[in-house]
Amino acid sequence: MTQPGLPVPSPPGAPAGLYAHVPFCRHICPYCDFNTYAGQESLIPRYVDALLAEMRLAAELAGPTGNAPTLFFGGGTPSLLTPEQVESVIRQARLSFGLGEDAEITLEANPENLDPGYLLELRAAGVNRLSIGVQSQQRAGLRVLGRGHRSVQAGQAYEAARVAGHQNISLDFIFGWPGQTNAAWEADLRVLLDWRPEHVSLYSLILEPGTPLQAAVKKGILTAIDDDTAADQYDRAVDMLGAAGWEHYEVANWAREPRFRSRHNLLYWQNGAHHGFGAGAHGTLRAARQSNILLPSKYIEAVEAGRRPVALTEHLDPATELGETMMLGLRLLVDGVSMADTLARHGVDPRERFAAEIARFVAIGMLEWRGDGQERLRLTVAGALLANDVCAAFLPATPPPTTSPR
């Protein structure tokens, strides 16, 4: 068992993606349960220094892991960082993990944080993919979701990104929010089709426990839409984007062309290795998953004291690893799960290990085979509507992985 707090080494030469968490927001949206904090922006300079130090220490302990193919700035609101701070993280990623010149470097951003000058400087810093959190272009939607921007700002931010030369833009939208009509959702879909970004993520709203939005619904202040309406809205998105030629390559993600698929998120869906840096960040390297200290101030203190800020390490048994490869890979609607690749990776043929599960879901039209000889297993259109339930059936019904607190 790996010593708590130390990274699990990847096989020499194996590429691992990089994730940098920026947990700061000007305000917290009422539906959000991510590790984010408002009113702590004064910590950002020390926090960025801690990120750089954590990356250096992780690289020393993990040893060579090949050229990192991706770097993803997630949050929170990464666009609260200055271009100089973003560039310093990119530079450290190149030094510590061989982040290549052709790597995908994504930065999540809110529309109200984007102006032409900032966007130009982000490009110069090395960011080559933007992920903009639009969520809705309806006034009612922005109000219910507690967003900090107006619809006109989202359009201006998108146009400014194009003027600044950004050629790989992803937009996030949310459907299924309280009070949303099908007509309002179709209006949002027409906006994104008119704008023609390279990528779009469409998320069904989840009323996460403990969030203000969930409390408002529980108290009857807002009324959640029913599951059938949410399913209808998802179907409408599938139809409209499909008719426009978009590739529906993952349950909640569409690419205008296959080359615009999110390379970083593909690492997750393919159950690949990735480092996680920053407060509350998660990383998975060779049968172990690590999560960092949640509070930014405590994270900074740990790194400044020369310690890795790891709060917990989960050691994954082979059955869980195999189950996660199936669960995540099935979300890839075009590619699905390769039987040959899974056998080579885990030493187990999924067609034998999961014969009963596969037969059951194929029989009821939730899963299908792609290719001759049962080469790839993937969700059907009907299966995509119940993706969480179908995919979870491949996880072992065993006690959770062993954990090692720091």
Dist CA 70 CA 338 (whole Å): 23
Mean pLDDT of 354-364: 96
**Burial category of 102 from C-beta neighbours within 10 Å (exposed 0-12, middle 13-18, buried 19 and up):** exposed
**Could you tell me the two tokens for 126?**
């090395």
Alpha-carbon Rg of the chain, whole angstroms?
21
Strand 253-255 and strand 282-284: the pairing is unpaired
Secondary structure (3-state) at 15: coil
Mean pLDDT of 128-134: 97
Mean pLDDT of 96-112: 95
Task: Provide the CA 214 distance to its chain's centre, in angstroms.
Answer: 22
Mean pLDDT of 377-391: 93
Taking CA atoms, 353 is separated from 75, 359, 395, in Å, by 37, 12, 12
Residue 32 backbone class (left: φ over 0; alpha: ψ -120 to 50; beta: rest): beta
Mean pLDDT of 82-94: 97
Task: Tell me the percentage of the chain whose pLDDT exceeds 70.
Answer: 93
**The pLDDT value given to residue 14:** 57
Mean pLDDT of 66-70: 89
Mean pLDDT of 352-361: 96
Q: Quick count: other Cβ atoms within 10 Å of Cβ 264?
A: 23
In CATH, which of 3.20.20.70, 3.60.10.10, 2.60.40.420, 3.40.50.2020 is domain 17-268?
3.20.20.70
Give the predicted TM-score (pTM) of the model. 0.92
CB contact set of 42 (below 8 Å; sequence gap of 6+): none
Greater model confidence, 77 or 62: 77
CB 237 within 8 A of CB 175: yes
Dist CA 296 CA 299 (whole Å): 5
Domain-by-domain residue ranges, the chain? Answer: 17-268, 336-392
**The pLDDT value given to residue 372:** 64
**The pLDDT value given to residue 403:** 41
Q: What is the pLDDT of residues 164-213, one digit of tens each?
A: 999 999 999 999 999 999 999 999 999 999 999 999 999 999 999 999 99
Task: Provide the CA 165 distance to its chain's centre, in angstroms.
Answer: 24
Q: What is the pLDDT of residues 10-52, one digit of tens each?
A: 333 457 999 999 999 999 999 999 999 999 999 999 999 999 9
For Cα atoms 191, 197, 199, give the angle at the middle one, nearest 5 degrees.
Answer: 115
